[in-house]
Each structure stands twice: as structure tokens, then as C-alpha cells.
Structure 1
Amino acid sequence: MTERIPDSDNVTLGDRLFAGLQYVLPKHLLSRLIYSVMRTESPALRRLIIANFLRGYDVNMTEAVQSDPFAYRSFNDFFTRALRPDARPIAAGDDVVVSPVDGTLSQCGAIRDGQLLQAKGHDYSLLELLANDTAAAATYRNGSFACIYLAPYNYHRIHMPVAGTARSTVYVPGDLFSVNTATARTVPRLFARNERVICDFDTAFGRAAMILVGALFVGSMATVHCGEINPPPRRRKAPVTIDKGIGHPFAKGEELGRFNMGSTVVMLFQQDRIRWEPALAPQRKVVLGATIAQAIARS
């Protein structure tokens, strides 16, 4: 391990050991293996994996379109299951920003001096998060951000927080550290170093970005307008702009994509376009469709 884990009152010995292990694990190889296993349609193996998952996590299957967990063709189909249309009402109002996922808020606030808060004691760079795209970084400089973590038991489809039109999609190769709270406290620049997909939109609130961050065992992310984006047959060393889906319109609350295993979404808005709800705070649970911000009236 060549990188020092930050000192912090919040970092435990367990955090340090978990982070240290991740530095030496063959994370991409493990993720490719999990990718294959999670898609097996072997009835016995599929049932075994799903049954063990249900024993470990409290999953509310009554919300799913298909409520029988063993009726899915594979664990991945079960994991990315669709919810009933009435399970997550979308808050109305053209000036309302809604949560794009079920999850836990890691951080939210203002982007200050080109830096986003990852955890107490360390930040990460907006420019690095946006794959060193200086024009994109200038667009969101001094804007607003929110980071939401999806645990394994959460619903794993991502929806639009506002209505928007797809402007660009960029796949950024990177590492595959876990994105849980312990790792966020210990691994510097976590969200700017992990593999990610940057989806940029034109909205009534100006530009907005949804950044889907990969993680340990998250070997695949997909969007509605671009299809499955990663992993490519051979992982790239440089960001790739995806030409598909430009101009695709999305309604607020419409499905944008999905994680094939748990991960994190980072949302970006331009300066003085939205105001986060006062009750939002780190470690607060958020629910798809619930109000998380209001648009700021512009003269």
C-alpha cells in the first residue's frame, strides 16, 4: 500500500484494516467474477444466492412488481427488480428536486473552491471527479452537490431528480474501492478515483449532472439512453465519450439507469440554482421521489 490512510478521530482500526485490504485485492478481477455469478440462471445456484441474501438483508418484496424473489431468472434480475408504479410517489412541482434513489445521504452542500466534501477531514476535487474536463468543472464550480450511498438492500434503479435532456455521457475508467461509510472515511478522493459514468443534462434549473460511481463488485452500470456502459471487453485507460442517447428527454422521476450491485450517486447543480432542504444531513435516509431541494427563483 503506497497511500497513507488519513488520521481522524472517526477512523477505527476496522476501517483501516478494511481499507488496507482493498488496496491489495484484485478488485477488477473480483468484480468480473461477481458479474458472471450474479447472472447465472442455474436454478439451484440462483436460489441459493437469493435465499442467503434475504437472510442477510431485510428486503420488502411487497413493493416489487414481481413479489416472488425466486421467480427472477438470475440474482441480478432480482437485485435490479422494478418497483410497483405506486411504491414511490414523485413529489410534484416544477421547482421541486426529488431524490433519484433510495439510499443514505453521505454529504451535501456547496462546492467550495472546486472541492467537494467526502467525509470529515478530507475533500476531493471537482475537476478530478469530472475526469479533468475543465469546461465541465467551470460549469459546476461553486455549485451544489449531494452524494447518496445505495446499500445492498436498497432499490437499485436510478431515476431523474428533475426533468432534463441528455447532453453528454462519459465513461471514466478507474478503481473499484467499496463506497461504504468506512471506506469514505479512509480512502482519499474515493469518488474521483473510482470508475464512474458522468451523465450531464440540460434542465429548467440550468445544467445538472448525475454521476454513477462504481464500487467493489459493481462490475456494470447501465443507463436507459446508452444501455450497458461497462465493463467494456477490455477496460480503457482514458475517459470515453458515448455518442448514444444525446438529446434523449427524461421526465422527473423517470428511470435513468441502474447499478448491478450497490454503489453511489453524486448529483451536481450549477451555482445559485437550487437550495437543499434544511433537514438533509449526513447519514439521513432518503427515498426515491421525496423532495430534497427547491429551485431558487431567478429574476
Structure 2
Amino acid sequence: MSKAGAKLFVILQSLLPKRLISGLVFRLTRLRLRWFKNLCIRAFCRLYPIRMDEALKPKIGDYASFNEFFTRELRPGVRSLDGPSARILCPVDGTVSQAGQIDGQRLLQAKGRSYTLTALLNDAELAAVFDGGSFATVYLAPYNYHRVHMPVDGTLLSMRYVPGALYSVNPSTVNGVDNLFASNERIVCEFTTAVGRMAQILVGAFNVGSMATVWAGDVTPRKERSVDYRRYDVQQVHLARGAEMGRFNMGSTVIVLFEPGAVCLDPAMAPGRAVELGQTLALTGVQARPGAG
């Protein structure tokens, strides 16, 4: 997309009733009219390079709705989720938007644009935990697999729903809207792991009618537009490395945060690189040091 086209796209989004349109998409994608969902799925498969051979259910007729197709499960063994415990897994299929060290409190969004941890997490105390740590931001295009998995074994500490806008999170918008990820609706999931605390943030977007976690079900859409913070000290939620932790019901972005010194990001996590669930996101700090192991 040209610079002029990208700018026009951003302006158009600011004028559209994004929440109303996203709500309509939410309802349409869940319709269980056979002819309608088949029509939508076939059109989608013609528009995007969908790899149905990887799906647990490879036939269009196997899905009751478009949303069921969109959040389709992968066949066992299609992604490698094994390997040494020092290997931190990429949690999704997608394209790396940015990755690297957190510069004090700031994360890079795009060239010339950054945002703060406190704004992203909506929690200054939690932001201090990751100050100077590592991060990776991965964009999920419409054709990608849309379930989100655990990079490492973890125990859930808290979940925070933060209301916000619903701008698209495609590259044109990322390059054109300040503080995009800290402005959009999002779910912040905090875990304790063998490498310290980790946060995995699911960022909502235009046409993302719903985001869900395996422990809470659908977290969005919701009528109440206020911050919802929940601790999980009593209700223990343990998730193994590679286990599903959530899903997007349309395309969006995942941001993963690690404490300072906890991990060394893999060089393959470079902006613009296509990545898959299960490939190496990082190595633990001990294993990553020269001469270790």
C-alpha cells in the first residue's frame, strides 16, 4: 500500500463506527446457515492462502459457522512444540512486527513510534517488572492460525481486560497511529514461569468481534466498558508449554514480555519475518550466554 493509501486508510478508520461494525461481524460469523457459512468460507479461501491441509477438519462442510472455521484447530504434530526446556516457543503463527529490548519503559511500535509499558499494561507496578526486559510483537493476518499458545510452562497470576479503540493492527495502521497497541482494547495475562514473570497481551482490532481465554471463555465483546482485573491465586490455572491459552475470533496481535535477563531473543525474530507457532522465540538467559550448556 502506498503512503497516501495508508494515510487514507487510517483516516477512514477514524470515521467508521468500528465497534458497531465489529459487533455486526461478530454476529454474522456465528450464523449457522449452511449456505451462508459455506459461501463465506469459500470466498475467504479464494481471497487468502488458507492451508486447509494443516487443519484438523480439512473440509468446509465440517464447520458449523464461519467463526468455527476461522478459529480452526491444527492437526496434532503440524507444529513442533517439543525440544529442550531452554527453548521458549513462539506462541502464534504470524509476522514479527517488532522485537527486542524494552528501552526503559518504552517498546518500539514502528520506526519513529513507541509506547510505554504502563500504558500497555494499565498497571505501573506490573510495568516495573518488565522495565528493561525483552518483548516480541507478532501480527496475525486473516489467513493465519488464530489460536494463541504458551511459550513456556506457566501459572496464571492475573488477567486484566482494558477497554479501548478497535483500530486495525495491520502494518499500515501500525505505522500511522501513535500508541496503537496501548490504545486498542486488550487482555493482559500475567504468568509466573521458570524464567520469571511473563506477560502475554492479546490486542483487539477492527472486526475482532471476540477474544477468549481457555480459563475464562469469551472475554470480549462485553457491555461494560471498564477495566476488569482478576487475580487467580485461588483458582489455580497451570498451562504447559505449547498449550492453547486463548484465541482471536478475527485477526489481531500478540505481545509477549519477559523480565530483564530472563531470555535472549532468537535472531529470527526480526521485523517482517514470517513465524510459526512452536519455532524458537528465545532461549533462557543461562542457555543463551556464550559458552553455556
Which TM-score bucket, shorter chain as reference? over 0.9
In structure 1, give the amino acid aligned to 2:241: K
Aligned counterpart, 1:248: 237
1:229-281 C-alpha deviation (Å, 9 max, x unpaired): 0111x141x31013568420010000001000000000000001000112321
Aligned twin of 2:220: 230
Give the CA deviation at 1:11: 7.4
- Tell me which of 57, 61, 70 is aligned to 1:66: 57
Other-structure match for 2:270: 281
Structure 2 match to 1:147: 137
Tell me: CA distance 1:184–1:11, structure 2 relative to 1, closer, same or farther (3 Å).
farther
- 1:10-34 Cα offsets, whole Å, 9 max, x none, are 9700110000011111100100000
Per mean C-alpha deviation after superposition, the further-off stretch among 82-91 and 255-264 is 82-91
TM-superposed deviation, 1:115: 0.5
Distance (whole Å) between structure 2 residues aligned to residue 85 and residue 22 of structure 1: 39
Answer yes or no: is 1:135 the counterpart of 2:118: no
Is 1:130–1:198's contact at 8 Å kept on the other side of the alignment? Answer: yes
Asked if the contact 1:102–1:155 (Cα under 8 Å) also holds between the matched residues in 2, the reply is yes
Distance 1:187 1:246 in 2: 38
Post-superposition shift, 1:113? Answer: 2.2
Alignment of 1:207 with 2:204, yes or no, is no
> Aligned letter for 1:295?
T
TM-score (norm 2): 0.95
Mapped partners of 1:11, 1:93: distance in 2: 44
Q: Choose which of 241, 264, 269 in structure 1 pairs with 2:258.
A: 269
2:288 is equivalent to residue 291 of structure 1? no
Structure 2 residue runs without a partner (length 5+): none
Tell me the secondary structure at the aligned position of residue 45 of structure 1.
helix
- Taking the aligned partners of 1:263 and 1:253, their CA distance within structure 2 comes to 20
> For residues 2-13 of structure 1, what are the structure 2 equivalents within 5 Å?
12-13=3-4
Code of the aligned partner of 2:10: A
- Between the aligned partners of 1:246 and 1:152, the Cα distance in structure 2 is 34
Q: How many positions carry a matched residue from both structures? A: 287
- Separation (CA, whole Å) in 2 of partners of 1:128 and 1:173: 12
Q: Secondary structure at the match of 1:297?
A: helix
Q: 1 CA distance for matches of 2:4 and 2:104?
A: 32
Q: Please give the residue correspondences for 1:1-299 in structure 2 after superposition, counting only pairs within 5 Å.
A: 12-131=3-122, 133-232=123-222, 234-236=223-225, 238-243=226-231, 246-297=235-286
Contact in 2 for aligned 1:91/1:291 (Cα 8 Å) = no
Which runs of 5 or more residues in structure 1 are unaligned? 1-9
Give RMSD over aligned pairs: 1.6
Instruction: State the Cα distance separating 1:219 from its structure 2 match.
Output: 1.6
CA distance in 1, matches of 2:40, 2:63: 12
Note closer, same or farther for the CA distance 1:106–1:246 as it changes in structure 2 (3 Å cut). farther
Q: Which moved more, 1:64-73 or 1:182-191?
A: 64-73
Q: Which runs of 4+ in 1 moved over 3 A?
A: 242-246
Kindly state the Cα deviation for residue 175 of structure 1 after the two structures are TM-superposed. 0.3
Contact 1:50 1:70 in 2 (8 A): no
